[in-house]
Amino acid sequence: MKKLRIKKTLVFLLLSLVLVAFIGFVEKQTMYKTFQGTEVTIKGVSGVYFVEEKEVLDIVKAAFPELRAGLMLEEVKLKALEDRLKGHPFIKSVQASIGQKGILNLTIQQHEPIARIARPHAADGYITIEGKVIPTSPSYTSRVLILQGSYAEELMEKGEVMEKMPELMDLINFIVKDKFWSAQIPELEVNSKTDIKMMQQVGKQVIEFGDAKNIEEKFKNIEVFYQEILPRKGWNAYERVSVKFKDQIVCE
């Protein structure tokens, strides 16, 4: 009888363990089928973050109030989430996916500023590497090439550089991708498509560049000015230098 009672006790304990394991398994499977939280990954641009995790979570919370723990995963609107977040001026792309344990993963790629339009009487704006004009961030500033002038302000209002003046993007890229010129030319004055002036980091001369065409040839002329004319005349001998005419360097 004693052995029988021990056997029944062992069977009861074994069944209890099986039941507990089964309940845990069911709960775990249910958890995998329901929304449990959000994780945000933001890819920085040269270590700068124009979008913060809290800002993203606040947008999601406001736009999708139904997104709470326990919501069935098939009810999580991934495409709608991506579209809503892409409306943010600093967000270039969004990838929304459901990971393990019902976690919503949001991977965000920021726009990358390549230049900044400075306006004296209105808010500034950034030009992205794709030529899109976006507003500046109230939290962060990116040290990039500065553009000013009446036509630069028109581009700001247009919101797109490639459509109105694609050659300007060629000039901006030429400057920022060259180690020497990116350090020597901190600012462009863009008054029209044919009236671009360059300010120098070293040297008081304003360089009249003209239009944004024949870029390499014009920069070779500027190199001639640096290497052959300035050593003979001195850095302060001229107020302006023009390379806007083909095969000419005009110094005054």
Question: What pLDDT, on a 0 to 100 scale, did the predictor assign at position 14?
Answer: 56
> For 188-234, what is each residue's pLDDT tens digit?
999 999 999 999 988 788 999 999 999 999 999 989 888 888 888 77
Q: Are strands 133-135 and 125-128 parallel, antiparallel or unpaired?
A: antiparallel
Residue at 21 is within a domain: no
- Could you tell me the sign of the dihedral formed by the alpha carbons of 240, 245, 250, 252, in that order? negative
> For 39-94, what is each residue's pLDDT tens digit?
999 987 767 788 889 999 999 999 999 998 888 888 889 999 999 999 998 899 99
One domain for residues 146 and 243: yes
CA distances from 175 to 7, 19, 104, 146, 216 (A): 85, 70, 41, 11, 10
Range of the domain at 197: 113-251
Show which of 110, 134, 154 is a domain's final residue: 110
One domain for residues 135 and 162: yes
One domain for residues 96 and 118: no
Whole-structure pTM value: 0.77
Give the H/E segment covering residue 104: strand 103-110
What is the total count of domains within the chain? Answer: 2
One domain for residues 242 and 129: yes
Q: Does the pLDDT value for residue 143 go beyond 80? A: yes
One domain for residues 174 and 73: no
Q: Specify the CATH number for the domain of residue 117.
A: 3.40.50.11690
